[in-house]
Structure 1
């Protein structure tokens, strides 16, 4: 039986592979650090399982790839697509955008959550409730509203691309390669939720999330699933 929704365009949300800071729980925003060897293995595993002809992410069905400018995201994209990266770039289907840059953590860059809470306590903050990045944002960094605004701008572009092709008229799947907090922010905004909405979506490094639409309508976004692929030994 054919899948009646097979032609509906999808958005593949990719979290970059492991880095030394993500492994230790440090907040990594604009700091440009590379993937670990294990992080590279995570992404290669995802690519081997999920990317290719007639696989989950079929390059022939991609309309555009947007990638964070951070090295860890750029390298993830290259590892994910391998030899097919050059073809996508030649077709003009790859763009680097700061809209997918990780949350600017400001004064909290490089700190672990407990260290952030101690820092804020020393400044007399959070006397009545614990710090929550989704509600409180980051000192000298971005607020939730600022992050939401730049994601919303990209969502407009995605829907402009996919809107005329809701029934498979043109291949227009979208690939987004970004970061831990940013991928969750994107999923929330895709569904129209504020960032302080409690949405339990947390992909492992190198994991994939799939976003789409309900009933072939661009104004009815849907979250399909989140997938994590283990690194090959």
Structure 2
């Protein structure tokens, strides 16, 4: 089960070939309302409400019940349900995987969905919000900063909403075997926020691969090989 980075669409034929070429079945979840920043393919999202600052980071951010990622995390769990129900899938061998936003969604799925056996969480976005928005001014975290730049008295309310979706809090209830990765020069998802999620991850079978001289691109093909090896060892 794979989740997509921020702004990306589900792609076209041939967009997802790496895991299948290694003999691993793959279901890709399209992220509602996205698909215009890179890679085509999109699914509409008619449920947003309230003011926002570009992108989707602040859609419905006034309340946890209306926040955009509530719908996305629900989609992520239902996608695992759909995979488990497929007649060609062994429900005892389901893994979740993603990088950046996809990593944050995979972390949420590892915490909330059942059954999940293993998770690959690469340079996760949506993690350590309170720290991230004070460390970097890069997008997508910059959308939250811009929102607070205008809505000067909304900080407490916004941070309360974000706490419900923070990967650090999700990690505290996630138990599948997990492989994390971090780039120490990452200026999009600060490595300290990735390590916060890793350190809070409740499952005992966890490991993090660190790339000291890489940024948000992370390990690329090297991490892809780590992912294949990890899935083969944990899924059989």
Q: Give the TM-score of the pair, scaled to structure 1.
A: 0.31
Q: TM-score, normalised by structure 2?
A: 0.30
